[in-house]
Structure 1
């Protein structure tokens, strides 16, 4: 075999595969994790999260960090104890690579660079959501994979019993807390490079109630979206796809600074594709959505916004990209009049000057006016020992050393700092009870400990935001994840019975 054809048997010495970012590659379970502190008895349920975790060295040496296989963690909380389980999603890619003993997938979302042809080439590595008794591992380039909520065994691709015609499915579906509707979409819904968007709504029994085909003004990434009582909003990230570039072996995405930031606004029920309005704002990077709601005939849409290309590993056509240190996002609010024929938006209001991302709210208030938002926070005033952290961190992923809470009514910003050799991952909110006031409950999130090189779970009471109620110690290191969700034990019981 010629040297150029040698199949790599180890991960390259690149930041995205080194130190804490070394692929974890663990499947198994550990019961009765160590707990420092006290877990309240009302915290009963499972925290599911997923991380891109390559099970084999990639065919593409400089692969982006989030192109790894979906590896799902489940942390089950009961009676003050925590049990841990983790399994890879058995995607078509994973199964075929296990049989061949080598990586077969090529570049991120570029089928023209694969070693073989896949029917569905997704890694199912971006989010893990629960609806109608089903646990769904999602990545926005394909349909989700259904997994068993108890065992994490992969059941197979899920198309809502044949009701979903889209080839793709968002990694960020929304569950209306009042109507219990499950709302989603797929972009590039008819295949790579197509401008088609498929929007749909599903009733609590799993039946489609709305399905609308839309056409995007540009073929751009739509990573997240937002829902109000009467509208859905689609913010287009100015990374665009070009099929000819892909066929030539190039990247699926390229930063495009000469197009506006588009926000599509569509009536949520009974709409036609022609009913969408594409509002425009100056070129910018829209992050994960926080929430949207209606008030006085206007839509209030909150999300972190960056002025530069947050996905810096995909530069513009000239190869220009910011350094990671130049990238920052601030919570911003667009106010949109859905009845207006003037599609030029007023500049977004900056709600906080803090550098934040991965926003979460008390999801009992999703699509309704909310008062509290929680974030991963890059706090340059915190006493993080950066030389220690940076030496063991690895690279290619976002860096946040604190969790923030913003009161949108008073604009008070509170911070939780996990330790001076620690970074945080995305948080989830757990209500104290079903009848608790908004924002009253607990935050739960993974923490990377760069002294022990192990992972921790921190549980923080929102009534005492400065210190942890409990720290749960893991006996292993979990790579940087993307998204996860808390599923209450009562909902899981319904799925079992």
Structure 2
């Protein structure tokens, strides 16, 4: 009996200890399994259903801009601004898709004429011309010097074998940030804010600032200058835009590597004494 008891005890002990031992090891195994596979499962779940990140401020801003755009579209009416007879020379022209060879030339190009590119910068408004707006606030309009900048370039080169002249013409808008914005919208978006009734100008200032973060467009239509081997288009109200002189392509804004935070003068002077560019305010 004692032996049986002892055996029973041992068996009982072994039976009682065995579940305990297995349970303890199983818990350890679960911990190890979880530590190894949970990150993998979590990554797989995230790949299947990625977490949603909502930028509340950006969403509110986009909604506010849409509301303001709807208000402008319903309250303001855009119309073409008529040109005076003396301003007909400033009417907009179409932008070329590629350079064209000039074959019909009146007169003769002098033999000692310098080869190179002769370039002009001037206003060439989008959407058919300058605009005027009418609203409950009154009337506002552009000044005749406004309008997106367009470069007109004439390239002169001479055939070295026969001395014949080759003349090529090209033009292109200066693609400022506001030019690209209105081009993308495919309609006039900035309200004229230079001439007109006081209340209309004030409302144009406020609405342009709220919708675009600026009052007026970056027109870049006044001058083109060379600095350190590069060429730039410029106006008084913004930083210059770098231009590829061969293709007239806009390469981007030039802010002197982030050091310049305000508009440039449109008429910098090159001093022949030291050949340094002088930023002289006219």
The normalised TM-score by structure 1 is: 0.34
1:60 aligns with 2:132: yes
What residue in structure 2 maps to residue 157 of structure 1?
253
Query: Which residue does the alignment assign to 1:51?
Result: 122
1:99 is aligned, of 147, 171, 184, to 184
**2:267 aligned residue (167, 172, 191):** 172
Alignment of 1:332-343 (within 5 A): none
Aligned pair in 2 of structure 1 residues 59, 69: CA closer, same or farther (>3 Å)?
Answer: same
Query: Compared with structure 1, are the counterparts of its residues 5 and 163 closer, same or farther at alpha carbon in structure 2 (3 Å cutoff)?
Result: closer
Instruction: Give the CA deviation at 1:104.
Output: 2.0
Kindly indicate whether the alpha-carbon contact (under 8 Å) linking 1:52 and 1:69 is maintained by their aligned counterparts in 2.
yes
Q: Which runs of 5+ in 1 are unaligned?
A: 186-221, 225-497
Specify every segment of 5 or more residues in structure 2 that has no aligned partner in the other structure, as ranges.
1-69, 134-140, 159-164, 195-203
Match of 2:239 among 117, 120, 143: 143
Question: Contact 1:67–1:108 at 8 Å: present in 2 too?
Answer: no
- In structure 2, the residue matched to 1:315 is none
Counterpart secondary structure, 1:104: coil
What residue is the counterpart of 1:23 in the other structure? Answer: 92
Q: 1:106/1:6 Cα in 2 relative to 1: closer, same or farther (>3 Å)?
A: closer
In structure 2, distance between residues paired with 1:64 and 1:106:
12
Instruction: Report what 2:105 is aligned to.
Output: 35
C-alpha separation between the residues in 2 aligned to 1:145 and 1:107? 23
> Whole-Å Cα distance in 2 between the matches of residues 69 and 136 of structure 1?
15
Task: Return the alpha-carbon distance in structure 2 between the equivalents of residues 41 and 21 of structure 1.
Answer: 32
8 Å contact kept, 1:71–1:125: yes
TM-fit CA distance, 1:111 = 4.5
Residue deviations 1:107-139, cap 9 Å, x none? 356843527314683110111112222111110
d(CA) in 1 for partners of 2:190, 2:83: 19
Provide the C-alpha distance between the structure 1 equivalents of 2:225 and 2:130, rounded to a whole number of angstroms.
27
Check the 8 A contact 1:33/1:84 in 2, yes or no.
no
User: Alpha-carbon deviation of 1:88?
Assistant: 0.2
Structure (1/2) with the larger strand percentage: 1
CA RMSD, 1 decimal:
2.9
In 2, Cα distance between the equivalents of 1:181 and 1:132?
9
Partner SS for 1:97: helix
* 1:78 CA drift (Å): 1.3
Q: Secondary structure at the match of 1:99?
A: helix
- Whose helix fraction is larger, Structure 1's or Structure 2's? 2
- 1:48/1:111 Cα in 2 relative to 1: closer, same or farther (>3 Å)? farther
Report the counterpart of residue 166 of structure 2 in structure 1. 81
Look at both structures and tell me which one has the larger radius of gyration over its CA atoms.
2
Aligned length: 184
SS of residue matched to 1:71: strand
- Cα displacement string for residues 368-397 of structure 1 (whole angstroms, at most 9, x for unaligned residues): xxxxxxxxxxxxxxxxxxxxxxxxxxxxxx
SS of the residue corresponding to residue 183 of structure 2 reads helix
Per-residue deviation at 1:55? 0.9
Following superposition, the deviation at residue 26 of structure 1 comes to 2.4
- 1:178/1:40 Cα in 2 relative to 1: closer, same or farther (>3 Å)? farther
Give, in whole Å, the separation in 2 of the partners of 1:179 and 1:92.
Answer: 35
Q: Normalising to structure 2: TM-score of the pair?
A: 0.57
Could you tell me which residue of structure 2 aligns to residue 279 of structure 1? none
CA 1:92–1:144 in 2, change beyond 3 Å: closer, same or farther?
Answer: same
- Say whether the 8 Å CA contact 2:234–2:264 is kept in structure 1: yes
